[in-house]
Amino acid sequence: MRHRPRRSPRLLLLPAAVGAAVLTAACGGGSSQSTPDANGMTTIRVGYALTDSVPILLGVQEGIFERHGLEVELQESNPSDLVGALISKQLDFGPNIGPSFVLAAGKDVPVVAVEGVTTFNKGAEGSSGSLLLVEKGSAVESAADLDGKTIAVNFLGSASEFGVRSLIDADGGDGADATIVEVPVASMGDTLLRGDVDAAQVAEPFASQLMATGDFEAPLGDPIEQVFGDSPRLVYTTLDTYAAENAETVEKFQAAVEESVQLAEEQPDLLHDIYVEYFSTTPEQAEAQALNEFSTDLDADSFAGIVDVLVEYGALESPIPSGDLVP
């Protein structure tokens, strides 16, 4: 049976780099314990962002979460701040990208990852979520050729930046010498053609759209996939206090996500309407969408590779104990 999920307006989120006083005020007062209603249903507020979230949206639509005793209120999250709504308790479960989540936890934001959705590996249709593009005919043929060059990414301090720097180092260059600049993903093609940057890490579906023009090429593939590979890409997170006080609800959420991801993997055509409704794609674009490898598995060692890269490039001062990242 299909269900029309309740949706709230897009959230105005708190900045990720909130001060200690704000964190204390937002997270220290009151209980976050959830209580089932008379019908045994527990209401949870779940965020979605990025197309990797479509299995969760599908699961809500198909009644999977309801069968697990969860009434879901969906809220669109701001991709530039995926922890603010958790901190302000506007969400119970929020999406995040593996490296961004680890960075937040490393800055003492009290969040834990409860379930995975995708990894950085290519999915069944051969997409890893992004490509490093250069203008056609560029002299850039290897990662070492980017030494000292200017590269565009959508967010500084993200998987894009660390993937590019790490790939340059692995090819004998010096990733620290690359100049990484932040450019909106929709502007990356024009930025490359103007010569403002030498390369651009472009997310899908924009990467495929730019490649289709014939003006660009991707000789290095996707640095993010090559560096982070099996590491979690999209994960669902919650406050550590919520996880501690609502263990049964977390278990129900995990089971519902696992079932939803399995359905998406077995029947990917069901995702097309989700893309159109929630991500404003055309039906033709929805059919061409491809996701990364699905994986819901998370344990204390899942983020070890991400932690190593972030420590190496100074984003984290020291390794985070792996047990601190999961409930």
- Return the CATH class of domain 130-228: alpha beta
Measure the CA–CA gap between 302 and 114, rounded to whole angstroms. 12
Mean pLDDT of the residues in the chain: 88
pLDDT of residue 17: 38
Q: Which residues contact 312 (CB under 8 A, 6 or more apart)?
A: 166
**pLDDT digit string, tens, across residues 17-68:** 333 323 433 444 444 677 776 678 999 999 998 889 999 999 999 999 999 9
The secondary structure of residue 143, as a DSSP letter, is G
Percent of the chain with pLDDT over 90: 73
Give domain 6-121+230-324's CATH superfamily: Periplasmic binding protein-like II (3.40.190.10)
Q: In what order do the strands lie in the sheet with 94-97?
A: 94-97, 234-239, 111-116
pLDDT of residue 131: 94
Measure the CA–CA gap between 81 and 84, rounded to whole angstroms. 6
Measure the CA–CA gap between 286 and 63, rounded to whole angstroms. 22
pLDDT of residue 38: 62
Domain ranges of the chain: 6-121+230-324, 130-228
Place 8 in a pLDDT band, splitting at 50, 70 and 90.
Answer: very low
Do the first three CATH levels of 6-121+230-324 and 130-228 match, i.e. the same topology?
Answer: yes
220 has a pLDDT exceeding 70: yes
**pLDDT digit string, tens, across residues 234-280:** 999 999 999 999 999 999 999 999 999 999 999 999 999 999 999 88
Using alpha carbons only, how large is the chain's radius of gyration in Å?
A: 20
Bridge partner residues of 235 (DSSP): 96, 116
* Contact by Cβ (8 Å): 76, 48: yes
The pTM (predicted TM-score) of the whole model is: 0.85
Q: Which two tokens stand for residue 280?
A: 């404003």
Pick 147 or 15 by higher pLDDT: 147
